[in-house]
Structure 1
């Protein structure tokens, strides 16, 4: 399979950016899915603590990008469970 791709790239060098951008997009989407699976508070991998989001501090910023949101000034609005 790699030999076929190399042969196509030698015959058609205009395909090089296509392979580059498709590979980069695949890599970035895989990294994003890994980040969501490992860092998101909505995903639980621990069977002993099925609700880890209850232990999060209200000032914890779990979003990747928040517009005009200062999490350090938030106050907790709910009861402790």
Structure 2
């Protein structure tokens, strides 16, 4: 019964992880953004409050949950 519940929660975490990754905008600047020195602009100072930063933080947490659930399933 426990493995069924963990499997269902893992599937939900998988779907949420896919959705969060797809909602993020692409990082097209690449190396030219680093060389260009655009990090001192007004928009980069408030970067922690943007939707992309919230999605990046959500991606990290959902990925951690997914990995922990996967390890838990492999133990059981």
TM-score over 0.5 for the alignment?
no
TM-score, length-normalised on structure 1?
A: 0.35
Q: Does 1 or 2 have the higher relative contact order (CA < 8 Å, sep 6+)?
A: 2
TM-score, length-normalised on structure 2?
A: 0.37
